[in-house]
């Protein structure tokens, strides 16, 4: 059955699709598909119209994912809103990303295991380890390591024998993570993390080494987050923007470094607790209030020159530090089957501890 009609031509590269071809079938990895909206498209949501035009092979949720990935453009510009209303005569381009490997494979990667039972496993993730396979990181991830370690003890998530990721840490952020081994644990833990602990037992705390000393010993950053202009990073955005997501971070100053002197730059060790769990939330929020995480390559670049106002050895240490100085030191949650509250702590990794030690000498 055709996924289009004569008044909605579809062009792939230099050729038109024939009447017996489906746009969905033609959307193989890397191919661009262009569709023109007919009069009947006017006023329809982009995702709804595009899903209908692409046929049964590509669902509406898949279309929404493509929009989020920046793979859907109108007049040469990526579209940000799936609910955007269509206008007759518009040309919509879609580029299907190259297909991902069907399932990640197990790999013998060392794990720092804090706890494990039949339902879940708790690990202390090192900096530099990607959590889940993705573009550019199909191997060498935490998921690959867990598939190898857990083996047959994985009863399966959604019918597939793989670990259930319920929350994530950035590649260069270290610290405590819990991963589900069964569908039951995955569902319960996912609900707890989605709720951010508002109605249950969930607590997450991070330690961040930041530039400067906040004026108040405690504070709350309540600022919505959305996509930055580069569509990769995040930024504080107006709350009425379509992609704005509610985000709240509570912070407490644990230690102050260089306070009371003016010869050197100052810094602080801050504990951050999440009321919400947005991508890069702590990093964006601390930068937003003028105290970016030291070493952050995405949100702390404007403060890199502050290292020049440090004593020689500490300056060299800061400049050589390869990542953001952020560590998830505490995770507390209710076990999905025993309902016992479980608390796990992980000390700062050696590289961050040494960096903090250098600032303590100011």
Report the CATH number at residue 185: 3.30.2350.10
Whether 2 is in a domain gets the answer: no
Whether 3 is in a domain gets the answer: no
Q: Work out the average pLDDT over 229-258.
A: 94
The count of C-alpha atoms lying within 13 angstroms of the C-alpha of 345, restricted to the half-sphere facing its C-beta, is 2
Question: Do 305 and 258 belong together in one domain?
Answer: yes
Q: Return the closest-CA partner of residue 261 out of 304, 215, 310.
A: 310
Token reading at 133: 């396979």
Specify the number of domains making up the chain. Answer: 3
Q: Is 170 a catalytic residue?
A: yes
Query: Pick from 60, 95, 130: which residue ends a domain?
Result: 95
Residue 272 three-state SS: strand
Q: Work out the average pLDDT over 240-247.
A: 94
Question: Do 137 and 59 belong together in one domain?
Answer: no
Question: Do 220 and 347 belong together in one domain?
Answer: yes
Mean pLDDT lowest among 162-166, 283-287, 303-307, 342-346: 162-166
Token reading at 17: 């699709």
159 band by pLDDT with thresholds 50, 70 and 90? low
Task: Quote the CA–CA distance of 113 and 121 in Å, as a whole number.
Answer: 7
Look at residue 27 in the predicted model and tell me its pLDDT: 54
Question: Do 322 and 231 belong together in one domain?
Answer: yes
Nearest 5°: the CA angle 123, 126, 128 is: 135
Please state the pTM of the whole predicted model.
Answer: 0.72
Question: Do 355 and 259 belong together in one domain?
Answer: yes
Question: Do 170 and 304 belong together in one domain?
Answer: no
Whether 311 is in a domain gets the answer: yes
Set 47, 170, 296, 351: catalytic member: 170
Question: Do 343 and 212 belong together in one domain?
Answer: yes
Question: 26-61 pLDDT, tens per residue?
Answer: 554 446 778 888 888 899 999 998 888 876 667 788
Question: Do 44 and 157 belong together in one domain?
Answer: no
Question: Do 91 and 151 belong together in one domain?
Answer: no
Task: Quote the CA–CA distance of 309 and 319 in Å, as a whole number.
Answer: 12
Whether 156 is in a domain gets the answer: yes
Whether 101 is in a domain gets the answer: no
Report the CATH number at residue 15: 3.10.290.10
Q: Is the pLDDT of residue 4 over 50?
A: no
Whether 102 is in a domain gets the answer: no
Query: Pick from 195, 227, 256: which residue ends a domain?
Result: 195
Question: Do 179 and 32 belong together in one domain?
Answer: no
Question: Do 176 and 73 belong together in one domain?
Answer: no
The domain containing residue 83 runs over which residues?
10-95
């Amino acid at each position: 059955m055709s996924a289009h009609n004569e008044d909605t031509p579809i062009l792939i590269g230099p050729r038109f699709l024939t009447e017996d071809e489906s746009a969905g079938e033609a959307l193989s990895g890397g191919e661009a598909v262009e569709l023109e909206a007919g009069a009947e498209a006017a006023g329809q949501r982009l995702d709804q119209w595009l899903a209908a035009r692409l046929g049964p092979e590509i669902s509406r949720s898949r279309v929404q994912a493509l929009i989020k990935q920046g793979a859907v453009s109108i007049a040469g510009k990526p579209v940000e809103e799936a609910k955007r209303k269509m206008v007759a005569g518009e040309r919509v381009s879609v580029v299907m990303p190259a297909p991902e490997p069907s399932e990640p494979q197990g790999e013998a990667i060392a794990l720092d295991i804090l706890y494990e039972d039949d339902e879940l496993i708790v690990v202390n993730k090192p900096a530099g380890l990607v959590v889940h396979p993705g573009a550019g990181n199909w191997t060498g991830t935490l998921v690959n390591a867990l598939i190898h370690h857990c083996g047959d003890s994985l009863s399966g998530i959604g019918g597939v024998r793989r670990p259930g990721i319920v929350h994530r840490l950035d590649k260069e952020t270290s610290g405590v993570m819990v991963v589900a081994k069964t569908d039951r644990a995955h569902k319960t833990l996912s609900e707890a993390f989605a709720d951010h602990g508002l109605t249950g037992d969930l607590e997450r705390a991070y330690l961040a080494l930041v530039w400067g000393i906040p004026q108040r010993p405690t504070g709350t950053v309540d600022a919505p987050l959305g996509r930055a202009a580069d569509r990769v990073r995040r930024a504080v955005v107006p709350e009425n923007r379509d992609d704005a997501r509610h985000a709240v971070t509570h912070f407490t100053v644990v230690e102050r470094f260089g306070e009371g002197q003016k010869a050197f730059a100052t810094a602080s060790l801050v504990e951050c607790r999440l009321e919400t769990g947005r991508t890069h939330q702590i990093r964006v929020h601390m930068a937003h209030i003028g105290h970016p995480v030291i070493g952050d390559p995405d949100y702390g670049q404007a403060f890199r020159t502050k290292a020049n106002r440090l004593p020689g050895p500490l300056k060299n240490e800061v400049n050589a530090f390869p990542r953001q100085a952020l560590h998830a030191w505490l995770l507390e949650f209710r076990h999905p089957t025993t309902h016992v509250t479980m608390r796990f702590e992980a000390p700062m990794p050696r590289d961050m501890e040494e960096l903090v030690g250098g600032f303590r000498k100011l």
